[in-house]
Amino acid sequence: MSPFSSPALPSAAVPSIEHPEDLLEAMLLIRAYELRLSELSAQSGTPGTCTAVGQEAAAVGVLSALRAEDLILTNHRSAGHLLARGADPGRMMAEVMGRRDGYCKGKSGSLHISVRELGVVLTSTIVGGELSLATGVALSQTLLGRPGIVACFFGDGAAGEGIFHESLNLAAVWKLPILYVCENNEWQAFVHRRETMVGERIADRAAPYGIASATVDGNDVEAVRDAARSATAAIRDNGRPFLLELATYRQRGHFEPDDQTYVDAAELAAWKARDPIERMKARLAAKDGFTTGDFAGLQARVAARIDAAAAFAQASPWPDPAELLTDVYA
Please say which residue, 23 or 134, places its beta carbon nearer to another protein: 134
Of residues 29, 93, 163, 246, which one binds another protein by CB under 8 A?
A: 163
* Residues facing 215 on adjacent strands: 245
What binding mask, one character per residue, do residues 167-196 give for Mg ion by CB under 5 A, x or -? ------------------x-x---------
Distance CA 122, CA 138 (A): 13
Quote the DSSP letter at residue 193: G
User: In angstroms, what is the minimal distance from the CB of 94 to Mg ion?
Assistant: 27
3-state SS, residue 19? coil
User: In angstroms, what is the minimal distance from the CB of 136 to its own copies?
Assistant: 16
Please say which residue, 90 or 276, places its beta carbon nearer to ligand TPP: 276
Q: What is the DSSP string of 116-131?
A: GGGTB-----STTHHH
Q: Which residues bind its own copies (CB under 8 A)?
A: 160-166, 169, 172-173, 195-199, 204-205, 207-211
Distance CA 240, CA 219 (A): 26
Q: Which entry of Mg ion, another protein, ligand TPP, none binds 77, CB below 5 to 8 A by partner kind?
A: ligand TPP
* Residues facing 115 on adjacent strands: 120
Distance CA 274, CA 171 (A): 34
Size of the site for another protein (CB under 8 A): 78
| Alpha-helical segments (H) within the chain | 20-43, 56-65, 79-84, 89-96, 129-143, 162-173, 221-238, 265-272, 276-288, 292-315
Binding residues for another protein restricted to 242-271, rule: CB under 8 A: 262
Of residues 137, 158, 235, 313, which one binds ligand TPP by CB under 6 A?
A: 158
User: In angstroms, what is the minimal distance from the CB of 311 to ligand TPP?
Assistant: 29
CA distances, 110 to each of 82, 96, 116 (Å): 11, 4, 16
Q: Which entry of another protein, ligand TPP, its own copies, none binds 210, CB below 5 to 8 A by partner kind?
A: its own copies
Nearest residue to ligand TPP, by Cβ distance, number only: 155
- From 148, 86, 75, 96, select the one nearest 117 (Cα to Cα): 86
Distance CA 64, CA 36 (A): 24
The answer to whether 23 touches 300, Cβ cutoff 8 Å, is: no
Distance CA 46, CA 83 (A): 20
Size of the site for ligand TPP (CB under 6 A): 15
Of residues 189, 197, 214, 303, which one binds ligand TPP by CB under 6 A?
A: 189
Q: Which entry of ligand TPP, its own copies, Mg ion, none binds 147, CB below 5 to 8 A by partner kind?
A: none
Q: Which entry of another protein, Mg ion, ligand TPP, none binds 327, CB below 5 to 8 A by partner kind?
A: another protein
Quote the DSSP letter at residue 7: P
Binding residues for ligand TPP restricted to 70-129, rule: CB under 6 A: 76-77, 125-127
Please say which residue, 128 or 218, places its beta carbon nearer to another protein: 128
Distance CA 109, CA 105 (A): 9
* Residues facing 153 on adjacent strands: 181
Residue 155 contacts Mg ion per CB under 5 A: yes
Binding residues for Mg ion restricted to 276-295, rule: CB under 5 A: none
Binding piece for Mg ion, criterion CB under 5 A, among 57-65, 69-77, 148-156, 218-226: 148-156
Residue 315 contacts another protein per CB under 8 A: no
User: Which residues of this protein are in contact with Mg ion, per CB under 5 A?
Assistant: 155-157, 185, 187
User: Which residues of this protein are in contact with ligand TPP, per CB under 6 A?
Assistant: 76-77, 125-127, 155-158, 183, 185, 187-189, 250
